[in-house]
Amino acid sequence: MKHLKRLLLSLVVLVLAVGCAPAKEETEQVLRIAKDNDVSSLDTNVATDGLSFEVIKTFTEGLMEYDADGNIVPGVALDYEVSADGTVYTFNLRDDAKWSNGDPVTAADFVFSWRRLVDPALATEYSYMAEGIMIKNATAVIKGEKPLTELGVAALDATTFQVTLDAAVPYFIQLMTFPVFHPLNEAFVTAKGDAYAKSADALLSNGPWVVTEWTEGTKIRVEKNDTYWNADEISLDAIEFLIIKDYQTAALQFENGEVDMAKISADLVDRYKDEDFFETKKLGYTWYVAPNQLVAELQNENLRLALATSFDKSFITESILHDGSNVADYIVPIGLATGPDGKDFRDGAETFLSFDAAKALEYWNAAKAELGVETLTLELLVDDAADTKAVSEFLQTEWQTNLPGLTVTIQVQPKKNRLQLMRDGTYQLGLTRWGPDYADPFTYLGDLFQTGVNYNYGRFSDAEYDALVQSTAPGGALSTDAAARWAALHEAEAILLEQAGILPTWQSGEAMLVNPDVSGYEFHVVGQPSYRNVVKK
Amino acid sequence: MTKFIAKRILLSLATLFVILFILFLLLQFMPGSPFNDEKLTAAQQAVLMAKYGLDKPFFIRFWIYLQNVVLRGDFGISYAIKKDMLVSGIVIARLGTSVRIGLQALLLGVSLGVLFGVISGSKRNTWMDSMATVAAVIGVSIPSYVLALVLSFVLGYKFRIFSITYQVDQPLWSSILPTIALSFFVMAQTTRFLRTELIEVLASDYVKLVDAKGVARPKVILRHGLRNAMISVITILGPLTVNLMTGSLVVERVYGIPGIGSLLVEGIQVNDYNVIIMIAFVYSALYIFVNLIVDILYGVIDPRIRVAKGG
Amino acid sequence: MDDRKERFNRVQLRDSKQQEMLVGSTTPFLKDAWRRFTKNKGALVGLVAIAVIFLFALIGPYINEHAYNVLDKIHINLPPRIPFLEKLGIFDGSEGNYNPYIEKGFTNDYFWFGTDVLGRDLWDRVWMGTRISFYIAMVAVGIDMVIGIGYGMVSGFFGGKVDMVMQRIVEILSGIPNLVVVTLFVLVLKPGMVSIILALMITGWISMSRVVRSQVLKMKEHEFILAAKTLGANSFVILFKELLPNIIGQIIVMTMFSIPNAIFYESFLAFIGLGLQPPLASLGVLIADGYRAMITHPHLVIFPTVVLSVLMLSFNLIADGLRDAFDPKMKGF
């Protein structure tokens, strides 16, 4: 009797289990992507993080877009003209571009969006981009010194949009693919007020898809937008961004066929590295250790050189990360920018500060003699992410082993705190990275290491370097001579690294699992991935 | 009685106020700023600080904050997780899931705990008692996240019986594993507690009397023993709630549940002040609320408590 | 006179345990408790397990040729391999169908618990992590002893306004869930050993102070205290000399319960990423790290989890045994 009861009970449980278990049927093409992060905002001007931009790109379109080969082609714009001095851009917009509510996309929509971006009342984080591309009066408008109407943008007529810059910016056109410069429908945004972009129905689309579902902490679903001018070319019916924070869970869901694309962490690479659905790609991030030159000892060049050359970078990329990342004996990453000669910036370029324990020891002995010390203790500041923690432990051991007498302690902080400490200059060695905003070496060499710039955490300062970099800046002496500019940028990199102003470590990669039935996924080293040409069998 | 309840409520409110103040104060000492994107200039940071009123003196900020909380239930906006969105909206959207899974675990845990407790307490020193006792010690000893890991590894991954993550479109089915993981401690604690209580009650004179009158043993246990023992089980609801909260933080993480526990961890990682304060406050409020209910229930059931507590 | 004597006797008869306490010397009481404790099978198992783990924590890291903090660029991510046991087909260094020891030619290497991504020996790391858990346990005991007992005694003994204020403070402190206090504290300070200990200090002693206070209140009414006071003894001396021995049993029990609690909180913090920072690695940190590679290298999470669980279980068994031994009626947590 007892056994019978137990048997019945387990049967009931089993039936319940089977009955409730997922049973899905799909007739439409839906791409399901696991994401380790949630979007922080779907407001074109307000968003700051990668996933937010990625999602925004699915339902909006800018003046320019990337094509399948990574070339920049017109999007909402049909074509454009540049003035001879490179400071006035006039875009002719296509007249068949529409918002998902039927309104046409006009030049006024761009003017509204760009003014909103620099509006001091909104105080958007990415307003600095408007300054970066030197839009006329951008700085004054952001500071509130001039009215929004003074910003150098104008709608000459419904389909002609004109931008006036203070100086020629070599990468201006490329930045027109960047989501913060995408148009906004003024009537819609104003009508929604504070609620704009806070939920799926408070969003308007002018891109290939339209947001239909946005569930807090769970998923975002975009569905094909029939009003999109190029809708015929889009084959995916929907894309679902599923927020799965744990890589392991995402990987298992991939194995179960519940997601089509999943990023995985270094811990999981061993399990999948031989599978045909395993892929790695190179990202445009270079990780480096910034030695803080406010610390007296770190002003010593030999010490910096010793630190820079005494750790085996290949162990980091091959064993700790093994996700397609690359040993970085440079700062401007591979694949970031193509020069006037049609070659990648790194192609044939010099490398610096390669791992060489013997040489490092020489530097170290010289440094000890110059500093008059036998032992030294330094603190390494890192993020609390799993990968960076492991790397920091590796750096610690390598430094302590290869540079006898050196003691390295590790301080781990959440990323925000780490950035704060580095910005304040209250650290010694800091492991950090930079994500490029535009495909030009200037995003590294100009934005990071000039004397006094905001992100120069280590307070690197070199007059010759500054002069070179400034000549390559928008409006600088070389801004119109592409070949000379390129040479100057190479030279600047050499100056920075020959004195180990920073300690380049690795260029990021990313390991992914991708359903073999999915093709046409486009990934860009700078900018967001594109799903426009994705086909799912 | 009314006076007693009123007093308890007042005290709870006072505690909540102090907690809100302490939370607000503690966050002032938090390192880092919520506006710390790599690409923000110092000037922009200052603009953002001003925009969100973070540059004002502490007490003025607290006063504004307090007014917003009390009058509008507005805990400010999120600075990082969901830019410019009301924190209350985000938290409330997630609260339901957390509370539901917590209640499921409480229900499951208490029911199983009562079952094991009764078996163990009434059949003292039998093999069943030993089994239940051992299970109970294991239950209080093994951290819920370890259990969550084991369950998701064995049942979710190795045997693929259950979904390894929580899925919004199957809220019940996919919450089975997290519920089990969370309920284990509740079950164990209830078993332990009920066992001791039941042994004591069954040894009391009046139960012995009923026994002597020849009433059937199961009836004695259920009608007299259990009823009295259950009253005292109410008192451990407070500590159990706390444990469920702690557990939810890690269990939500393991199973990817979009609840407030995982949101708190995320808020901590990105310095989203208002999110941290509100969730910590909600946790405290839940805890205080449960304690209040327990106190009142207990006061109603057992007048001696009321007297002892000076109501 | 007769009347008083009769009353005195009745008090003693009411409760045999109280009688023992009132007799004065505590030795028979402790001896008695120990006798009851050793009869408890579970508690003995716990005691033996703790002793074994403690021994390993002490000598474990030294009994093989590896070290917990030395990086090994070659022997990375190796599964466990133990001599002799490998012949039985378990712990033979294979991971699924793949045996890196054989494939990579490490036929003479034995890593009993395997190695991690940086090639560090997990055996050593687990026992070093256990040391930290013991260390935290000791700190928890210290906190309970010093703050909990002190606070409870002062509050209970002085009573009146002092007691009221002190109890309101405790009430508010205990109104905030530990979890919130601990996380916020760790957040405000640098994550690490110091902040974990400080966080435990804020809340760890509350239940101890409550028990002590209620005991003090109960004891205060007893004649022998009154007598001591009448004889002109200093109130502080009374506190220590007379009260402490009488509540020692409960203190020991409470302390034992706070140990697993402290170990749990540390590992919990580690799991949500607020734990100890490298190169220190507690069991919680090892579990948190190993969890991320659970499906690739399960050994990284299994060993520290097993040790932590056994440790927690043993402490709870001992605490249970002690509670039963000292005061079978006490319903603590």
CATH of domain B89-301: 1.10.3720.10
A189 pLDDT higher than 90 = yes
**Rounded mean pLDDT of B243-260?**
84
Give the confidence band of A421 by pLDDT, cuts at 50, 70, 90.
confident
Contact B94 A216 (CB under 8 A): yes
Q: Which residue has the higher pLDDT, A440 or A20?
A: A440
What confidence score (pLDDT) does residue C291 get?
85
What confidence score (pLDDT) does residue C48 get?
92
Among B41, B90, B165, select the one facing A244 at the smallest CB separation. Answer: B165
What confidence score (pLDDT) does residue B304 get?
56
Interface test with C, best of B141, B263, B292 (most C CBs within 10 A): B141
Alpha helices by DSSP H, listed for chain C, are 2-14, 16-23, 27-39, 41-59, 100-103, 122-143, 150-158, 160-175, 178-188, 193-203, 206-220, 223-230, 235-238, 244-271, 283-292, 299-326
d(CA C127, CA C263) in angstroms, rounded, equals 15
User: Going along A391-438, which residue ranges are E strands?
Assistant: 406-413, 429-434
Instruction: Say which DSSP state B40 is in.
Output: -
For chain A, list the contacting chains (3+ Cβ pairs, <8 Å): B, C
Q: C73 vs chain A: nearest CA distance in angstroms?
A: 7
Inter-residue contact C73 to A320 (CB < 8 Å) = no
Interface test with A, best of B51, B54, B83, B271 (most A CBs within 10 A): B83
What confidence score (pLDDT) does residue B74 get?
86
B100 pLDDT higher than 60 = yes
What confidence score (pLDDT) does residue B302 get?
64
Q: C269 vs chain B: nearest CA distance in angstroms?
A: 9
Give the confidence band of A8 by pLDDT, cuts at 50, 70, 90.
very low
Give the confidence band of A7 by pLDDT, cuts at 50, 70, 90.
very low
CA separation, residue C237 to residues A179, B192, C24, C150, C152 (Å): 75, 39, 16, 13, 16
Q: What ipTM score was computed for the predicted complex, to two decimals?
A: 0.79
For residue C148, give the amino acid letter.
Answer: G
A367-414 tens-digit pLDDT:
999 999 999 999 999 988 888 888 998 999 899 999 999 999 988 887
Q: A211 vs chain B: nearest CA distance in angstroms?
A: 17
Contact A40 B157 (CB under 8 A): no
Inter-residue contact C37 to C322 (CB < 8 Å) = yes
> Closest chain A residue to C96 measured between Cα atoms?
A271
Instruction: Say which DSSP state A383 is in.
Output: E
Question: How do beta strands A88-93 and A326-327 pair?
Answer: unpaired
What confidence score (pLDDT) does residue A405 get?
92
Among B16, B149, B268, select the one facing C294 at the smallest CB separation. Answer: B149
What confidence score (pLDDT) does residue B272 get?
83
Give the confidence band of B109 by pLDDT, cuts at 50, 70, 90.
very high
What confidence score (pLDDT) does residue A157 get?
92
Interface test with C, best of A245, A254, A264, A267 (most C CBs within 10 A): A267
How many other C-beta atoms are found inside a 10 Å radius of the C-beta of residue B99?
Answer: 16
**Rounded mean pLDDT of A429-457?**
88
Contact C271 B250 (CB under 8 A): yes
A397 contact residues in C (CB cutoff 8 A): 69-71, 118
Q: B277 vs chain A: nearest CA distance in angstroms?
A: 18
| Cα A88 versus chain centre, distance | 28
Mean of pLDDT over chain A: 88
**Rounded mean pLDDT of A77-87?**
91
Contact B83 A198 (CB under 8 A): no
Chain A residues with at least one Cβ partner in C under 8 Å: 247-248, 251-252, 265-271, 312, 315, 319-320, 384, 386, 389-390, 392-394, 396-398, 410-413
Question: How many CB pairs (< 8 A) connect B and C?
Answer: 114
What confidence score (pLDDT) does residue A209 get?
94
Q: Which residue has the higher pLDDT, C316 or B51?
A: C316
SS3 string, C172-212, reads HHHHCCHHHHHHHHHHHCCCCHHHHHHHHHHHCCHHHHHHH
Contact B253 A245 (CB under 8 A): yes
Q: What does residue B275 show for φ and ψ, rounded to 5 degrees?
A: -65, -45
What confidence score (pLDDT) does residue C83 get?
76
Q: What is the pLDDT along chain C (333 residues), one digit of tens a residue?
A: 444 444 454 444 444 555 444 444 455 667 777 777 787 788 888 899 999 999 988 887 787 777 777 777 777 778 887 777 777 777 777 777 777 777 777 777 777 788 887 888 888 889 988 998 888 888 878 877 888 888 888 888 787 888 888 888 887 777 677 777 777 777 777 677 777 887 777 777 887 888 788 877 877 777 777 777 777 776 667 666 767 777 777 778 778 888 888 888 888 888 877 777 766 788 888 888 888 888 888 888 888 988 998 998 898 888 888 877 776 554 443
Contact A267 C296 (CB under 8 A): yes
Q: Which residue has the higher pLDDT, C221 or A352?
A: A352
Sheet holding A88-93, edge to edge: A77-82, A88-93, A160-164, A153-157
Q: A379 vs chain C: nearest CA distance in angstroms?
A: 12
- Per-position DSSP letters for B197-238, written without gaps between them: HHHHHHTSHHHHHHHHTT--HHHIIIIIIIHHHHHHHGGGHH
Contact C279 A267 (CB under 8 A): no
What confidence score (pLDDT) does residue C330 get?
47
What confidence score (pLDDT) does residue A478 get?
85
The tokens describing C70, both together, are: 């030395």
**Rounded mean pLDDT of B103-115?**
91
Q: Which residue has the higher pLDDT, A451 or B235?
A: A451
What confidence score (pLDDT) does residue A308 get?
93
d(CA B146, CA B150) in angstroms, rounded, equals 6
What confidence score (pLDDT) does residue C239 get?
66
A130-151 tens-digit pLDDT:
888 889 999 899 888 999 999 9
B135-159 tens-digit pLDDT:
888 888 888 878 888 888 788 777 8
C96 contact residues in A (CB cutoff 8 A): none
Selected residues 86-145 of chain C with any CB under 8 Å from a CB in chain A: 117-118
Find all residues with CB under 8 Å of A235, minimum gap 6, and list them: A29, A533, A534, A535, A536
Question: How many CB pairs (< 8 A) connect A and B?
Answer: 126
Q: Which residue has the higher pLDDT, B27 or A336?
A: A336
Contact B142 C179 (CB under 8 A): no
A166 pLDDT higher than 60 = yes
B48 contact residues in A (CB cutoff 8 A): 123, 125
Question: How do beta strands A238-243 and A219-224 pair?
Answer: antiparallel
A120 contact residues in B (CB cutoff 8 A): 47
> Closest chain B residue to A443 measured between Cα atoms?
B39
Give the confidence band of B310 by pLDDT, cuts at 50, 70, 90.
very low
A249 contact residues in B (CB cutoff 8 A): 164-165, 256
CB of C184 less than 8 A from some CB of A = no
Contact A397 C71 (CB under 8 A): yes
A361 pLDDT higher than 90 = yes
Chain C residues with at least one Cβ partner in B under 8 Å: 42, 171-172, 175-180, 183-185, 187-188, 260, 264, 267-268, 271-274, 287, 291, 294-295, 298, 301, 305, 308-309, 312-313, 315-317, 320, 329, 331, 333
**Rounded mean pLDDT of B193-202?**
82
What confidence score (pLDDT) does residue A516 get?
92
B265 contact residues in C (CB cutoff 8 A): 272-273
Q: A403 vs chain B: nearest CA distance in angstroms?
A: 31
What confidence score (pLDDT) does residue A4 get?
46
> Closest chain B residue to A198 measured between Cα atoms?
B85
What confidence score (pLDDT) does residue A330 get?
93
What confidence score (pLDDT) does residue C162 get?
87
Give the confidence band of A21 by pLDDT, cuts at 50, 70, 90.
very low
C99 contact residues in A (CB cutoff 8 A): none
Sign of CA dihedral C210, C212, C214, C220: negative
What confidence score (pLDDT) does residue A282 get?
86
For residue A429, the cross-strand partners are: A291, A380
C179 contact residues in B (CB cutoff 8 A): 242, 245-246, 249, 283
C292 contact residues in A (CB cutoff 8 A): 247-248, 265, 267, 386
What confidence score (pLDDT) does residue C11 get?
45
Domain definitions of chain B by residue range? 2-87, 89-301
Find all residues with CB under 8 Å of A51, minimum gap 6, and list them: A35, A37, A38, A39, A241
A17 contact residues in B (CB cutoff 8 A): 161-162
Secondary structure of residue B31 in the 3-state scheme: coil
Give the confidence band of A176 by pLDDT, cuts at 50, 70, 90.
very high
Q: A302 vs chain C: nearest CA distance in angstroms?
A: 26
Among C298, C309, C333, select the one facing B146 at the smallest CB separation. Answer: C309
Give the confidence band of A23 by pLDDT, cuts at 50, 70, 90.
very low
